[in-house]
Amino acid sequence: MLQYCVSVYAETATRCLLDFLGALCVLVLLSWRLLLLMLLVVPFVAVGATVYQRFVGNMGRGVSDQLAKAAEIAQESIGNVRSVRSTAQEHKQMRIYNAVMDESYVRARNLALAAASFTVRRLSIN
């Protein structure tokens, strides 16, 4: 099994390397200046995409954490309402839950704006 996996990966790596070298040859034949420009620009775009991906990933984790906190407070509040049935306590728990949900909304909105800005930039380039 291991030998099969290694041979498949070696074949795929060889094919990708040959594709890359072939594309470089075609670009050299078409325009060496364009090739140099591409080789200068691509690393910066790749680094920018990686930084953006980490930024959005951290935002997504923040949204998930905030929603988990809201669910925990909601569960605790429902348990408190069932056991205590105190009007003052219900309003306090509602305020706490609403504050956490508002924070979840803000984080989710920021995540959506970040993702949308990338989409708009990508569409404007095309």
**pLDDT, tens digit, 9 for 90 and up, residues 62-99:** 888 888 888 888 888 777 766 665 555 677 778 888 88
pLDDT score of 81: 67
Question: Across residues 35-44, what is the average pLDDT?
Answer: 89
Nearest residue to 67 via CA among 101, 98, 99: 101
Identify whether 6 is part of a domain.
Answer: no
Question: Across residues 36-55, what is the average pLDDT?
Answer: 89
Nearest residue to 111 via CA among 54, 56, 53, 65: 56
Please report, rounded to a whole number, the percentage of residues in the chain having pLDDT higher than 70. 85
pLDDT score of 88: 58
Identify whether 102 is part of a domain.
Answer: yes
Which residue matches tokens 């930084």? Answer: 51
Identify whether 22 is part of a domain.
Answer: no
Mean of per-residue pLDDT scores for the chain = 82
Query: Do residues 101 and 73 make contact, with C-beta atoms less than 8 angstroms apart?
Result: no
Asked if the model's pLDDT at residue 25 lies above 60, the reply is yes
Identify whether 72 is part of a domain.
Answer: yes
Q: How far apart are CA 4 and CA 1, in angstroms?
A: 5
pLDDT score of 18: 93
Identify whether 28 is part of a domain.
Answer: no
Return the ∠ at Cα 62 (arms to 110 and 90), rounded to 5°. 95
Identify whether 23 is part of a domain.
Answer: no
pLDDT score of 122: 59
How many domains, the chain? 1
pLDDT score of 19: 92
- Which domain covers residue 64, as residue numbers? 44-125
